[in-house]
Structure 1
Amino acid sequence: MIRVLAPPPRADAVELMESPQPRAVMDECLRELAMLNRLLGVRGLVLRYLRRFVRPGDRALTLADVAAGGADLPQSFVHWGRRRGLRIHAVAIDHHPATVAIARDRSAGMPEIEVLLGDARALPLADHSVDVALLTTALHHLSPQGAVQALRELDRVSRRGFVVTDLVRSRAAYLGSRILAQSLLRSPLTRVDGPLSVLRAYTVSEVRALAEAAGLRDVRLARHPLFRLALVKGA
């Protein structure tokens, strides 16, 4: 029984979207990822934590969205802030040049969003230069050493804190991702990468160990529905 319920070993295979892809292929992939962020409640989960960083009297909030993909989350948060009279300036950072180009095109007309090419392990930002740093469904793309570096970088660049959310590796999550990929997704990248992302994801205990290795203090680690976790500092 223990062997059946234990999470599968962590995979170290490279996902398709991490390799050079034609722009049209990446564009379709990023659109489906944005759809999944909406349908699976990822956007709502991150916003739930983000709003805790807003203090009474705030007129503006700066954030860095690391591994931002097509920048769908920064766009959503900017619109959310506009409706509340809160100006959100977002720096969307991604390491993939094609993804950065797509994010810039999709963010055209939104001066609140700046899109940069950069690595989560060495962010192109000064110390304490943003209020909040976000890393959403991306920690699993990094090796344990890379994940520790990224966590330290989020802590370095943020003034108020950070929010890391990601998948949790389990056999049930893998089965669910296979069903979702085959029934809902069309992009060849997301159909293959979705289940692989689950196999590359860290367990809760592994993320706790990563946070300890990064020397982080005053962080909270919580489970959330649909096989997700959140590592949060400051909210």
Structure 2
Amino acid sequence: MVNLRKRITGVDEIMDDFALPATELDPVLKGLGNLNAWFGGHKTLIKALQQFPVQAGNHLSDWGCGGGDALKAIAAWAKKQQLPLHLTGVDAAPAAIAFAEKETAAYNNINYLQTEVMSNELTENQFDVVVSSLFTHHFEDDAWIALVKKMLSCARRGIVITDLHRHWLLYYSLKAIFAFIIPNPMMRHDGPLSVKRSFKKQELVQLLAKAGITHYKISWKWAFRWQVIIYKA
């Protein structure tokens, strides 16, 4: 039985290499986008945005946007609601940005910024809402705190973070999915490792306290995800 008592640190996923070529990264981004759609990740994110609520003309940014699947889902929802939004994806990997641009080419309200999330290209109050899906587990504790502070600084209204719940059932489910349903070597390595790097609720509470953040809500979402909504005071 895998030991998930403590969050693992000091071990990188293959996807942490920003120089990965498109031939290796594209199938992974496609698979992750499918998983987000299958397990309701996009719907959960949109429901969270409705809680602010998102307003016409708002500028939303997805940090660690990967293949752009979350932005595509938000844009499709906003179009149905006749809600004009400006959407910006942020990712440090050139291949991820190239893939996302192709996947969302039909939406003229989505643009991308290739940069690291802690860079000076992301500035105070640049966006109305910053979102991040299955991204923050890539950061060790001190870096996670710095990241969330940066997100909050760059958002006028607040942020939405969704990330994995460290649980044995999710760990073994991903091992099975990436062995039989989406048989990809990188995902077979990174998927279970991402669970080891993810969070228990109390860990998130402690990290938020260290960041000096008090105006937030944490809720559990299917499938084995924590959603953290932080409101700008």
The corresponding residue for 1:50 is: 49
Aligned pair count reads: 230
Please say if residues 162 and 232 of structure 1, whose CA atoms lie closer than 8 Å, have aligned partners that are also in contact.
yes
The corresponding residue for 2:35 is: 36
Cα deviation, residue 169, structure 1: 1.0
CA distance in 1, matches of 2:108, 2:169: 42
Cα deviation, residue 123, structure 1: 6.1
Match of 2:14 among 7, 16, 39: 16
Match of 2:4 among 4, 7, 25: 7
The corresponding residue for 2:78 is: 81
CA distance in 1, matches of 2:196, 2:138: 11
CA distance in 2, matches of 1:122, 1:49: 26
Residues 118-133 of structure 1: pairs in structure 2 closer than 5 A = 118-122=115-119, 124-133=121-130
Cα deviation digits, residues 59-102 of structure 1 (max 9, x gap): 32210100000111111111111111101111100111221222
Please say if residues 121 and 146 of structure 1, whose CA atoms lie closer than 8 Å, have aligned partners that are also in contact.
no
Check if 1:96 corresponds to 2:97: no
Match of 1:136 among 113, 133, 136: 133
The corresponding residue for 2:25 is: 26
Check if 1:189 corresponds to 2:186: yes
Cα deviation digits, residues 207-229 of structure 1 (max 9, x gap): 11111111113111112232110
Cα deviation digits, residues 27-86 of structure 1 (max 9, x gap): 11100010010011111111110122236xx43221010000011111111111111110
Question: Secondary structure of the residue that 1:87 maps to in structure 2?
Answer: coil
Unpaired segments of 5 or more residues in structure 1? none
Unpaired segments of 5 or more residues in structure 2? none
Cα deviation, residue 6, structure 1: 7.6
Please say if residues 166 and 228 of structure 1, whose CA atoms lie closer than 8 Å, have aligned partners that are also in contact.
yes
CA distance in 1, matches of 2:69, 2:170: 24
CA distance in 1, matches of 2:152, 2:198: 21
Check if 1:152 corresponds to 2:157: no
The corresponding residue for 1:225 is: 222
TM-score (norm 1): 0.91
CA distance in 2, matches of 1:129, 1:187: 37
Q: Which amino acid aligns with 1:158?
A: A
CA distance in 1, matches of 2:36, 2:90: 17
CA distance in 1, matches of 2:177, 2:144: 27
Cα deviation digits, residues 102-134 of structure 1 (max 9, x gap): 222323242211111122334622211211110
Cα deviation, residue 175, structure 1: 1.7
CA distance in 2, matches of 1:156, 1:121: 11
CA distance in 2, matches of 1:198, 1:206: 14
